[in-house]
Amino acid sequence: MARSISPYERYGEAKPLTDSTLIEHTFNASETVSGLAHRYYDDWRLWRLVADRNNIADVRRIAAGTVLLIPERPLEGGGFESL
């Protein structure tokens, strides 16, 4: 019986600080990277997180069917939490 392969093994080096949870998304022709950022992070301005994690040089040239890794949204800095 074959064992399952994690996205870390399939797509390269593990980055545990930024990839504690990883989502695989199959890109289609009607999508944009900023649209994916809005969908997964509720902020289109975080598109660079997706582009950098997937080593995308030109976000306008992603082939349909490409599997992109969506890293977890980083924690906001400079805030305080009350207990």
CA dist., res. 54 & res. 8, Å (int):
12
Pair of tokens at residue 77: 């800095």
Note the pTM of the prediction, 2 decimals: 0.69
Domains of the chain: which residue ranges? 18-71
- pLDDT digits 0-9 by tens, 6-61: 666 666 666 655 556 788 999 999 999 999 999 999 999 999 999 999 999 999 99
Q: What superfamily does domain 18-71 belong to in CATH? A: LysM domain (3.10.350.10)
CA dist., res. 11 & res. 36, Å (int):
19
